[in-house]
Amino acid sequence: MDIIHTTKAPAAIGPYSQAIRAGGMVYTSGQIPLDPDSGLMAEGSIQQQALRAIENLAAVLEAAGSGLDRVVKTTCFLKNMGDFAAFNEVYAAHFTGNPARSCIEVSALPKGALVEIEAIAEI
């Protein structure tokens, strides 16, 4: 088992790692739309926040020797399910392999994010 860390994605803000690589798979922690350089939340629409979260997720997967094209399962958390269609447009443009997915509305996300995405991928 290997702990994955990259400076190209936001550092963990608690007692967890960005991802764990084990048994030929990588399991990521949820990625919210924080800018990895400034640590600030991406401003704007669900589309802008979804793109930043996906970019963060891609950076973590790359550090683990994987990529968005190798994702087998995602779990997506939305603050407002009314944003589902707009979120899905951004998601579909980046997850072209159509991984299995759960999408859940939650009452709140860390730092006021509109979206958080976690993934399981092959290495």
* First-last CA distance in the chain: 13
Say whether 101 sits in a helix, a strand or coil: strand
Pairing status of strand 25-28 against strand 115-122: antiparallel
Residues annotated as catalytic are 103
A 10 A CB-CB count for 18 gives 24
